Structure 1
Amino acid sequence: MQNASNSIIQPAGFYIVALSSMSYSNIYVMFLTVLYGITVMCNVFLITIIFYDHRLHVPKFMAVGNLALVDLVLSTSLVPGMIKTYILLDNFVPFKLCLVQMYTYYTFLSLEPFSLCILSYDRFIAICFPLRQESINTNTRMAYLIGAIWLFSFVIILYAVTSIPTLSFCGSLEVHSYFCDYAPVLVLACGDTTPQWNYATALTMLFITVPLIFIFLTYMGILTAVFRMKNNQSRYKALATCTEHLILVAVFFIPIVIIFSFTFFGIIWNPNVGLVSLCLSSLLTPCMNPILYSLKTKEIRSRIH
């Protein structure tokens, strides 16, 4: 440890210990490795198609490409470190690298629900205002929306992570997670960490409730517009365009809402279950996104063929 002049005790780093204490960790790591490989290949493929095909330079595919990029960075911030810890049996993470991983992971994890919001906004405009869609949802407006959520996430996570070096760590340095997770690192700190816990709780509620409310309201508007359609084929077509998005929303939010609810209400359960669920929710959506949009979106399918 290194003792700074202001008496803050800053460790050289932390030890990631959750994998070593987990049953069937070899199967879990193998599964994550396969999942990560699929995620990288599919998302890079989707981003490349959207980037090079000028016919896909429209708001909808700007939103899809943004989600693919977020998914790619999110999964990369998590899985390679876990694989390295398991294969090389090296679970030590230097302090500064720990902060970088923590900041990257939570920044892009917070971008995920807002990126899903942008996709629901795109569907809302397309179905509820089909004749005015091109004038309302322009490339410029979509670029501003994407830029806004990136700026918001980068800034709002900054305080949480930069508050870690202001704390002293005078006890155990074992992080009971699969990576440099914020809460497991925070519990190792000495002294009062109430401001950090309050901020983290507020952010968690913000990133769950605001996107869910927004998505719910947009789909209420979509359903209202769909039921006003007189043609059954038009109804089916409109609803079919929303299925891939709703699947991604469910896969991402359900595990997070369950974990947060159990933690908030003090329900006791196996902590490994919570860690695995949170980890999978951060990886399944990035893996499923390019597959769903490639298989179900005719514009992408036509480019593949």
Structure 2
Amino acid sequence: MDFFNSALGKNITFVRPPYFLIAGLIGIPHVNYYYAFLFAIYIVSVVGNVFVMVVIILDRRLRTPKYVAVFSLAITDLCGTCALVPKVIDTFLFQHNRIPYNDCLAYMFFCFVFLSMQSLNLVALAIDRLMAIADPLHYHVRVTFKFMFALLGSFWLSVVLLVMISSGLLTRLSFCESVVIKSYYCDHGPIYRIACNDVTPSRVVAGLCPILLLWIPLIFILASYVYISYALSKISVAQERIKAIKTCSGHLSLVAIYYIPILFVYRFAANIHPNVRIITVSLTTLLPAMLNPAVYVLQTNEIRHSVKTTFKMKKVAVK
């Protein structure tokens, strides 16, 4: 991140503390039960997402552009959970809440990249469903591996660049009064708020990130389903219409799991106790990663059929 300093001013000296103190979950009553719950979420998330990834890799019928996006979502959920949860448990359960300055920024970078990609993976899946239902005759021509890799690659690149900018701007801040981060990890907002110099650039980026990574994707997803609804209304055969709706049910469930808790937090954050808010926000970031694999296994015919076929083959092999 030093290139920000060299580009914006070589002779500027910033007060960088040797470490930060993460204090978000300290002092919450009976919080050890919450750590046990976080560990359970971590195990289920890792097992579930690895399972989905293995199924997609082993079953050749799932090697389609759509499942490239599903695979990307599983990787995002797996890496996001692995980046966040073990460090949270280590920080608070074992009281290792002192984290070096550079380690804190690196921790924030990886958490933000993977957590931010969740919404953009949902956008990729929305585009896939939109093309499949609105223009089924040209779906296989337009939604190719090249198209999906290019789409997801542009999303990953955009997120990495945006997080690099937000992390780099933090290196332009001086911390001369407090080093206590009031969050459960090295969060961007709580970090820049304890700085003692001009935080305007960081505040602007902090306001821009939710717009680019949460609200614009949500608007696009909702708009895509408005158009999908219009396309479905033109299908005269009821059975075909129901079949098309079923192909969207898994994606709609993922969107609901991801966005409903976020909308709840944004709506009621100012009216709830800070301890409750921290726990609610942490669950908002972690529960989708745990529930997404279950949604796809239970609601996607191709994955469910692949799992059944695999288990039948294993039973035959055992006999």
Name the CA distance, whole Å, in 2 between partners of 1:251 and 1:176.
Answer: 26
Q: Could you say which residue in structure 2 is the equivalent of 1:104?
A: 110
Comparing 175-184 and 19-28, the one that deviates more: 19-28
Asked if residue 13 in structure 1 is aligned to residue 19 in structure 2, the reply is yes
Aligned pair partner of 2:283 in 260, 280, 284: 280
Length-normalised TM-score, structure 1 = 0.93
Q: Could you say which residue in structure 2 is the equivalent of 1:214?
A: 220
Aligned pair partner of 1:33 in 22, 25, 39: 39
Shift of 1:270: 1.6
What does 1:190-269 correspond to in 2, within 5 Å? 190-261=196-267, 267-269=270-272
Q: Give the gaps of 5 or more residues in structure 1.
A: none
Between Structure 1 and Structure 2, the one with more helix by share is: 2
Counterpart of 2:178 in 1: which secondary structure? coil
Name the CA distance, whole Å, in 2 between partners of 1:21 and 1:199.
Answer: 31
Comparing 54-63 and 249-258, the one that deviates more: 249-258
Shift of 1:195: 1.5
Name the CA distance, whole Å, in 1 between partners of 2:85 and 2:109.
Answer: 15
Shift of 1:268: 4.3
CA contact (8 A) 1:208 1:257 kept: no
Shift of 1:149: 0.2
Q: Could you say which residue in structure 2 is the equivalent of 1:149?
A: 155
Shift of 1:142: 0.6
Name the CA distance, whole Å, in 2 between partners of 1:132 and 1:239.
Answer: 19
Name the CA distance, whole Å, in 2 between partners of 1:201 and 1:258.
Answer: 18
Counterpart of 1:14 in 2: which secondary structure? strand
Aligned pair partner of 2:61 in 42, 45, 55: 55
Asked if residue 65 in structure 1 is aligned to residue 71 in structure 2, the reply is yes
Q: Could you say which residue in structure 2 is the equivalent of 1:271?
A: 274
Name the CA distance, whole Å, in 1 between partners of 2:157 and 2:288.
Answer: 22
Name the CA distance, whole Å, in 1 between partners of 2:168 and 2:122.
Answer: 27
Quick one: which amino acid aligns to residue 172 of structure 1?
S
Q: Could you say which residue in structure 1 is the equivalent of 2:307?
A: 304
Q: Could you say which residue in structure 1 is the equivalent of 2:296?
A: 293
Length-normalised TM-score, structure 2 = 0.89
Comparing 218-227 and 145-154, the one that deviates more: 218-227
Cα distance per residue 1:105-141 (max 9 Å; x no partner):
1112221111100111111111112221100111110
Q: Could you say which residue in structure 2 is the equivalent of 1:186?
A: 192
CA contact (8 A) 2:90 2:96 kept: yes
Counterpart of 1:170 in 2: which secondary structure? coil
Quick one: which amino acid aligns to residue 273 of structure 2?
N
Name the CA distance, whole Å, in 1 between partners of 2:88 and 2:67.
Answer: 32
Quick one: which amino acid aligns to residue 222 of structure 2?
F
CA contact (8 A) 1:160 1:196 kept: yes
Name the CA distance, whole Å, in 1 between partners of 2:13 and 2:127.
Answer: 50
Cα distance per residue 1:168-218 (max 9 Å; x no partner):
111221111111111111111111111111111011122222101110111
Name the CA distance, whole Å, in 2 between partners of 1:282 and 1:230.
Answer: 41
Counterpart of 1:39 in 2: which secondary structure? helix
Q: Identity of paired residues, percent?
A: 35
